[in-house]
Every structure is written in structure tokens, then in C-alpha cells.
Amino acid sequence: MTDLERVKTGIPGLDSIISGGIPRDNLVVISGDPGSGKTILCMEFIYEGVTKFNEPGVFVSLEESKEEIIKIADLFGWDFETLIKEKKIEIVTIDLYDFDQLKDIIEDTISRVKAKRIVIDPGVIFRLYFSKELEARKKILELGRMLKESGCTSIITNESSSNTNDLFGLEEYVADGVIIMFHKRIKEKFERSIAVIKMRGTKISEKTHPLVITKSGLDVLSKQEMYG
Ligand SMILES: Nc1ncnc2c1ncn2[C@@H]1O[C@H](COP(=O)(O)OP(=O)(O)O)[C@@H](O)[C@H]1O
Ligand SMILES: [Mg+2]
């Protein structure tokens, strides 16, 4: 029996709960509470890809500016600035809410940096591009399919606690994997955790695992259970 080719996220503890990594070229949606670590996860996925696996990456940031992403990454010791100069990472931001243009820019950027990894954070901002629900649904599914054919392993994030909290069926119909990140009050303090809901062709941990953010990034406590 052969296993699928897998892309290691490089995030400590995460790969071991998804049988070694995300199947190559798959699209994963990460839904999570505010402050649960979605943006940091995206940065780490891109940084690890470039530095450990020689896979160039594209970071589509729809919330933070390029400068903010560089500054936050730097706090974890991830030197995005140098990697951008070396053309191994490109950060894409767009202030004009033009979906078709964004799609073209993403495609061009992927081919320019020969990207093997891409993140779109937070994907849920796409909702703002459309006034009509049906059009939004069509376009977002189209973007998801484009990413799956792009030669990249992709992550799109989603804010799970907003009241506009879905990506129009992207999770159910197009995404190969779904991960949920929690930031919830347990007794007197807020705690972070992570659970893998689905990952095509992959044996996954059925548990919710604690997640901590340290000065070197995320750490999924794969041997511990949140509600065990
Ligand atoms: N070095 C650090 N140590 C512990 N927590 C941190 C550190 N740096 C950032 N954080 C926490 O991470 C949170 C942000 O995570 P982020 O990935 O932006 O969340 P999300 O994108 O899910 O809203 C911050 O609110 C902060 O509390
Ligand atoms: Mg974020």
C-alpha cells in the first residue's frame, strides 16, 4: 500500500495528527475563533516550507498589511523580509475589492515565485466582495478549484465566531481538509486548542489537542487531549 505524497506543515505536533502532513496539492480550510492562532499558523506554514523544504510560498493577506505580516513574523524569528528579497516568499495584499482581479493576481504570483504553498488569510473577507449570495458562492468555489489545480498546497482561513461564518460551502464541497482552532474560556482563563475535522485520504486524530503559542511559533500538544 502506498501513501499519498505529503507536505509537512513543519508546525510541531501538527503533522503527527494528520499522518505526516497535508496531501500534496490539497486545499485545507482552517476555521477558528479570533486569536486562536490562524494567522500565525499561516506564517509558519509558509516559513517552514521555504526554509526546510525549499518550497516557495505566497501569503495573501486580506487583513494585515505587508508591513504588519513582516513585523509579526519577525517576532517569531521568521525573517520574511530577506526571503521576500530572495523571491522565495511573496506577500499579496489588495485594497480594491475586485474579486476577479484578485484571482488573476494570485495566479500570476504563484507562477512568478513558482510557489508550492499558498495561504489566503482570512478568506472570509471574500464575503465583502459580493452583494449577491449566489455570485459569492460561485466565485469562491471557483477560487477553491483554481487553488487545487495551481500546483500549490493551500490553506484558506475562516473566522468561525463571526455571524457571517461560512465560506459558502467551500469546506463541504471543495476543500480536501478542514481544521478547527479554538480560543475558549475554560474555567477562569482562555485556552487554545485544535482539531482536525477532515483530511482526504488521511488517518486523523479524533481528539481535540491543546495548542500553545511560544516565542518560536505554534506547538500542538499531540500527545495530550483537551477534554481527556
Ligand atoms: N509570542 C507569543 N506568545 C504567546 N502568545 C502570542 C505570542 N505572539 C502572539 N500571541 C498570541 O497570538 C494571538 C494572535 O494569533 P493570530 O494568529 O493572529 O490569531 P487569529 O489569526 O486566529 O485571529 C494574539 O492575540 C496573541 O495573544
Ligand atoms: Mg488572523
Say what the pTM is.
Answer: 0.96
Distance 61 CA to ligand 2 centre (A): 9
Tell me the fold of 25-178.
Rossmann fold (3.40.50)
* Domain extents in the chain: 25-178
Is residue 123 lining ligand 1, measured as CB closer than 6 Å? no
**pLDDT reported for residue 183:** 95
Distance 2 CA to ligand 2 centre (A): 36
Atom of ligand 1 nearest to the CA of 36: 22
Distance 64 CA to ligand 1 centre (A): 13
36, 40, 41, 125: which to mutate for ligand 1, most atoms within 8 A of CB? 40
| Nearest-angstrom CA–CA distance, 82 and 89 | 9
Among the bound ligands, the one closest to the CA of 44 = 1
Where are the strands (E) in the chain, listed by range?
6-7, 22-23, 27-32, 57-61, 89-92, 117-121, 153-159, 177-186, 189-199, 209-214, 217-220
Instruction: Please check the confidence at residue 1 and state whether its pLDDT lies above 90.
Output: no
Is residue 40 lining ligand 1, measured as CB closer than 6 Å? yes
Neighbour tally for 96: CB within 10 Å: 8
Q: Which residues contact 213 (CB under 8 A, 6 or more apart)?
A: 37, 40, 192, 219
Q: Summarize pLDDT for 108-151 with one digit per residue, the tens.
A: 999 999 999 999 998 877 777 788 888 888 888 999 999 999 99
Collapsing DSSP states into helix, strand and coil, what is residue 68? helix
**pLDDT reported for residue 171:** 80
**Sheet (strand 209-214) strand order:** 89-92, 57-61, 117-121, 153-159, 27-32, 177-186, 189-199, 209-214, 217-220
